[in-house]
């Protein structure tokens, strides 16, 4: 026989003003198994908690029901109170008579009746509460950072500076990401490479960072503190030990293809270093375009390499490494403009994307930093910048605001004026959004000091006439039609999640939103965590953001990682799923519904009479299980139960309300 | 009137900024000037519209507007503008541009009636001719 004690809280007037506490206590005393009931004005206060502890000891109470606020508020507080009185903390049950009752029922009678009903269900469940013990999990003191753009670099540096080993994995041949492609940064106009490359060098030289470039994470198993990742280091075709980075190989390579780093504005060779400040500054052979790999002959680079470092036979290397925590910083792509024929992109060489314009402005870019028209190599006198190309477009683009375009377009207008004196920047916009420190002031400089004219309205059409481009649109502020003759058009194309983001999410067991940006655990209060413990987010892969925000988020993710790795062990959550193997039919429906990949099949052997049988059952990995209960619902024979929320307990609650 | 590269790159903005001493380019079209203008009902273009047309270089539309002459220079707009612009000075700038237009608003002695000539101070008429008849 369980001895249940009921403790009803007034919460000042929050509960007591609506609910008749006396009646609740009187009703509780008549409920099955209840041996004691009392009240307190503030049950969570020191005095309130002391009264609970005293009553437990005096009345020999074995199960505790506290009727108070939501368990989200004080479940932990009261679990500790119960434990201090010598009971298992999971013997506690909370009846939420504040958020679910007094706050929503202004009329006292209804509130009181409902409070009694809520207490009755809690009593019914508490009588069936079993002792639960959290497991203890070990932690591997090593972190994995996926993606080495500015966010991944910052996260890796912060974790490494705190004294933990970090593996930084980058799929491109060099670290640096998108920031390396940019020319200047708003709102200070300092050169992007100048502030990024010192960090890249820090990464390369840091004792606690192991860099894996030209590598991909192929598989991640395990759970918080105990992840196992499979990393494929793609073969560069270069012996990294021997290569001195002299560059003779790529000077003589006969193959020329569009450079990804230059956004297609310049060519690179089939053996190449993506950009001069690349880390590591050693080449890679692009096997899809290399003449030796496609046609079986050439080997010019091998013949010319003075160090004998070119080795076509080098194979991919596959590593399996254990980690305690993972930071995802996989970055972003830009929208494919196929659906936007009206802007003439791809049809006219002088219609560029903003990323192409960045390369055009950059001193190491295809024109050496001179802004010249791709069509005839002349400097443009008038340049139209079109914002929101694909952003804020619910019909054929992305519904969201890309967040960085307003600011970099103002920057482009300023840079144009600085590089081509007398040139006129004209910006088409829907709204100018400048939320950030010194951002509005920066935009004001573009209009006030650099003569940028802003036209409020989207462009309807861009088409060539002679060697110039005609833009047709409207200025919705003055309601006047606009028809401009310009020399160049720059499109501020929407940023998007990486094309493979959904796949990466599935591999890691983290979710994405409708646009394939990774979901944070809470939009305000847990912005760097994911719903999978031990996996954190940094940078654009979580949603559009600028460099300062990406860096801040990366440092925040690093603190979360360090906080985790600092612990000696983790306390597991005891309310996890549990399979009764004797009842499990082995249908494995539970493995299909589990969002955390926490249930696997297992073979068991058992004796039936004289026979020995082998059959399949489900097995729960308690480290991965988050206790959502989806498997219990899906289980047809009822073999799967969530500890602390078993079918028996839930049905007892239902009976207490209905019977 | 249509907005073109020519209107945007014309000298109108520079000219009116020079005459008025106000940074017309920095107007963000919040509309507060028009919101508080006491002469609004008599205007064909609202004050903020004049600013916008100036930014786009649409001179003709401004020149034919009654607004320039309806503005009472009460400075309500100047007191309230969050970009610290004084629109009455801008209006005055446009009036100056209009008055100084070659061929427009010239004054011919023959148009004056004998009564006007009789009452008008001669000095004023002569200085007016000097200023506006070029």
pLDDT in tens, A277-318: 999 999 999 999 999 999 999 999 999 999 999 999 999 999
Instruction: Kindly determine whether residue A484 and residue B9, on different chains, have CB atoms separated by under 8 Å.
Output: no
C-alpha distance from A450 to closest chain B C-alpha (Å)? 10
Partners of A482 on chain B (C-beta within 8 Å) are 2-4
Q: How confident is residue B134, by pLDDT bands cut at 50, 70 and 90?
A: very low
What does pLDDT average to over chain A?
Answer: 95
Fold of A142-234+316-331+498-565: FAD/NAD(P)-binding domain (3.50.50)
Q: How many helices (H) and strands (E) does chain B have?
A: 10, 1
Q: Which residues of chain B does A448 touch, with a Cβ-Cβ cutoff of 8 Å?
A: 23, 25-26
Residue B26 contacts A where some CB pair is shorter than 8 Å: yes
CATH class of A577-643: alpha beta
Both B73 and B58 in one domain: the answer is yes
Above 60 in pLDDT, residue B105?
no
Residue B102 has pLDDT above 70, yes or no: no
- Closest partner residue to A486 (CB to CB) among B5, B23, B53 is B5
Q: Which residues of A touch B56 (CB under 8 A)?
A: 453, 455, 475, 478, 480
Nearest CB to A448 within list B5, B26, B53: B26
- Phi/psi zone of residue A564: left (φ > 0), alpha (ψ -120 to 50 degrees), beta? alpha
pTM score > 0.90 for this model? no
What was the pLDDT predicted at B131? 60
Do both B115 and B70 map to the same domain?
Answer: no
Which residues from chain A sit within 8 angstroms of residue B7, using beta carbons? none
In 3D space, the residue among A531, A530, A534, A509 whose CA is nearest the CA of residue A143 turns out to be: A534
Taking contacts as CB-CB distances below 8 angstroms, the residues of chain A near B53 are 478, 480
Closest approach of chain A CAs to the CA of B51, in angstroms? Answer: 10
Minimal Cα distance from B51: which residue of A?
A478
Tell me the domain boundaries of chain A. Answer: 4-126, 142-234+316-331+498-565, 248-304, 333-496, 577-643
B14 at the A interface (CB within 8 A)?
no
Query: To the nearest whole angstrom, how far is the Cα of A389 from the nearest Cα of chain B?
Result: 22
Q: CA nearest A432: which of A452, A415, A449?
A: A452
Do B65 and B126 share a domain, yes or no? Answer: no
Q: Token digits for B44? A: 């064909």
CATH code of residue B25: 1.10.1060.10
- For tokens 């039919």, the residue is A585
User: Region A474-489: what's the mean pLDDT?
Assistant: 96
Most B-contacting residue of A451, A478, A480, A481 (CB-CB within 10 A), to test interface? A478
pLDDT of res. A7: 97
When CB atoms are compared, the residue of B8, B25, B26 closest to A424 is: B8
| Overall average pLDDT of the A38-59 stretch | 96
Closest-approach residue (CA) in chain B for A382: B5
Residue A171's CB is within 10 A of a number of other CB atoms, namely 19
Task: State phi, psi for A14 to the nearest 5 degrees.
Answer: -55, -45
Note whether B69 and B10 are same-domain residues. Answer: yes
Residues in chain A closer than 8 A to B8 (CB atoms): 424, 426, 453, 484
Which CATH code is given to the segment(s) A333-496?
Answer: 3.50.50.60
B133 vs A572, residue with greater confidence? A572
Half-sphere exposure of A274 (CA within 13 A, CB side): 21
Does this chain's domain A142-234+316-331+498-565 share its CATH topology with A577-643?
Answer: no
Q: Are residues B22 and B49 in the same domain?
A: yes
Contact A478 B53 (CB under 8 A): yes
Q: Which domain holds residue B34?
A: 5-101
Q: Are A627 and A141 in contact (CB under 8 A)?
A: no
Q: Does B55 touch chain A (CB under 8 A)?
A: yes
Interface of A with B (CB under 8 A): 382, 424, 426, 444, 447-448, 451, 453, 455-456, 475, 477-478, 480-486
pLDDT per residue as tens digits for the range A73-116 = 999 999 999 999 999 999 999 999 999 999 999 888 999 999 99
A488: β partners: A383
Whether B78 and B131 map to the same domain: the answer is no
Asked if residue B132 and residue B96 are part of one domain, the reply reads no
The ipTM assigned to this model is 0.80
Are A480 and B4 an interchain contact pair (Cβ–Cβ within 8 Å)? no
Whether B90 and B117 map to the same domain: the answer is no
pLDDT (tens digit, 9 = 90+) per residue, A252-274? 999 999 999 999 999 999 999 99
Whether residue B74 sits in one domain with residue B16: yes
Q: What is the number of CB-based contacts under 8 A between chain A and chain B?
A: 53
Backbone φ and ψ for A500, nearest 5 degrees, come out as -100, 15
Domain A4-126 falls under CATH 3.40.50: yes
8 Å CB contact of A478 and B1: no
Residues A322-350: tens digit of each pLDDT: 999 999 999 999 999 999 999 999 999 99
**B80 and B57, same structural domain?**
yes
Closest by Cα among A636, A630, A624 to A597: A624
> Would you say A14 and A109 are in contact if contact means Cβ atoms under 8 Å apart?
no
């Amino acid at each position: 026989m369980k001895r249940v004690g009921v403790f009803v809280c007034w919460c000042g007037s929050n509960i007591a003003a609506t609910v008749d506490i006396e009646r609740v206590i009187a009703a509780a005393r008549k409920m099955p198994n209840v041996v004691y009931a009392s009240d307190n004005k503030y049950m969570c206060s020191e005095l309130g908690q002391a009264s609970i502890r005293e009553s437990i000891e005096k009345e020999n109470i074995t199960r505790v029901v506290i009727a108070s606020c939501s368990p989200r508020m004080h479940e932990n507080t009261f679990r500790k109170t119960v434990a201090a009185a010598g009971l298992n903390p999971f013997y506690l049950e909370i009846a939420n008579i504040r958020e679910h009752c007094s706050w929503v029922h202004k009329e006292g009678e209804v509130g009181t009746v409902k409070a009694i009903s809520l207490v009755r269900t809690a009593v019914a469940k508490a009588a069936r509460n079993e002792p639960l013990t959290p497991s203890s999990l070990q932690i591997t003191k090593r972190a994995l950072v996926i993606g080495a753009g500015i966010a991944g670099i910052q996260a890796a540096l912060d974790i490494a500076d705190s004294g933990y080993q970090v593996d930084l994995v980058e799929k491109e041949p060099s670290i640096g990401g998108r920031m390396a492609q940019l020319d200047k940064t708003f709102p200070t106009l300092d050169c992007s490479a100048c502030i990024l490359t010192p960090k890249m060098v820090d990464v390369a030289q840091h004792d606690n960072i192991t860099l894996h470039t030209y590598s991909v994470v192929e598989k991640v198993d395990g759970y918080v503190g105990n992840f196992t990742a499979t990393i494929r280091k793609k073969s560069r075709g270069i012996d990294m030990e021997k290569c001195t980075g002299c560059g003779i190989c790529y000077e003589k390579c006969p193959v020329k293809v569009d450079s990804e780093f230059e956004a297609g504005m310049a060519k690179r060779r089939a053996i190449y270093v993506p950009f001069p400040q690349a880390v590591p500054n050693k080449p890679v052979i692009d096997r899809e375009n290399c003449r030796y790999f496609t046609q079986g002959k050439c080997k010019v680079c091998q013949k010319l390499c003075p160090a004998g470092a070119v080795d076509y036979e080098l194979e991919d290397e596959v590593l399996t490494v254990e980690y305690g925590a993972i930071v995802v910083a996989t970055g972003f792509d830009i929208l494919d403009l196929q659906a936007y024929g009206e802007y003439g992109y791809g049809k006219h060489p002088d219609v560029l994307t903003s990323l192409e314009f960045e390369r055009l402005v950059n001193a190491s870019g295809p024109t050496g930093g001179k802004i010249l028209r791709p069509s005839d190599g002349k400097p443009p006198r008038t340049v139209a910048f079109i914002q929101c190309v694909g952003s804020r477009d619910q019909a054929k683009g992305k519904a969201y605001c890309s967040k960085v375009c307003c600011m970099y377009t103002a920057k482009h207008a300023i840079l144009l004026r600085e590089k081509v004196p007398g040139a006129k920047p004209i910006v088409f916009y829907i709204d100018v959004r400048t939320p950030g420190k010194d951002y509005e002031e920066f935009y004001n400089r573009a209009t006030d000091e650099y003569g940028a004219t802003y036209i409020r309205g989207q462009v309807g059409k861009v088409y060539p006439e002679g060697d110039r481009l005609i833009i047709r649109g409207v200025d919705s502020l003055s309601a006047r039609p606009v028809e401009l003759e310009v020399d160049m058009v720059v499109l501020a194309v929407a940023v998007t999640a990486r094309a493979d983001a959904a796949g990466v999410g599935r591999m890691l067991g983290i979710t994405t939103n409708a646009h394939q940006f990774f979901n944070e655990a809470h939009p305000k209060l847990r912005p760097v965590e994911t719903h999978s413990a031990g996996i954190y987010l940094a940078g654009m892969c979580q949603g559009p953001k600028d460099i300062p925000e990406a860096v801040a988020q990366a440092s925040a993710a690093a603190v979360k990682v360090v906080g985790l790795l600092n612990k000696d062990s983790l306390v597991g959550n005891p309310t996890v799923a549990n399979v009764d193997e004797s009842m499990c039919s082995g249908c494995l429906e539970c493995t299909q519904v589990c969002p955390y990949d926490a249930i696997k099949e297992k073979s068991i052997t058992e004796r039936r009479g004289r026979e020995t049988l082998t059959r399949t059952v489900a097995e729960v990995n308690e480290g991965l299980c988050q206790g959502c209960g989806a498997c219990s619902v899906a289980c047809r024979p009822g073999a799967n139960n969530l500890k602390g929320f078993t079918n028996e307990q839930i049905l007892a609650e239902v009976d207490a309300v209905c019977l | 009137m249509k907005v073109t590269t020519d209107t945007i790159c014309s000298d109108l903005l520079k000219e009116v900024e020079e005459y008025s001493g106000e940074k017309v380019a920095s107007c963000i079209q919040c509309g507060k000037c028009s919101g508080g203008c006491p002469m609004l009902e008599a205007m064909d273009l609202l004050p903020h519209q004049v600013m916008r047309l100036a930014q786009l270089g649409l001179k003709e539309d401004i020149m034919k507007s009654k607004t320039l002459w309806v503005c009472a220079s009460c400075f309500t707009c100047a007191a309230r503008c969050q970009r610290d612009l004084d629109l009455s000075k801008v209006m005055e700038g446009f009036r100056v541009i209009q008055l100084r237009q070659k061929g427009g608003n010239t004054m011919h002695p023959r148009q004056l009636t004998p009564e006007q000539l009789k009452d008008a101070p001669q000095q004023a008429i002569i200085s007016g001719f000097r200023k506006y008849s070029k």
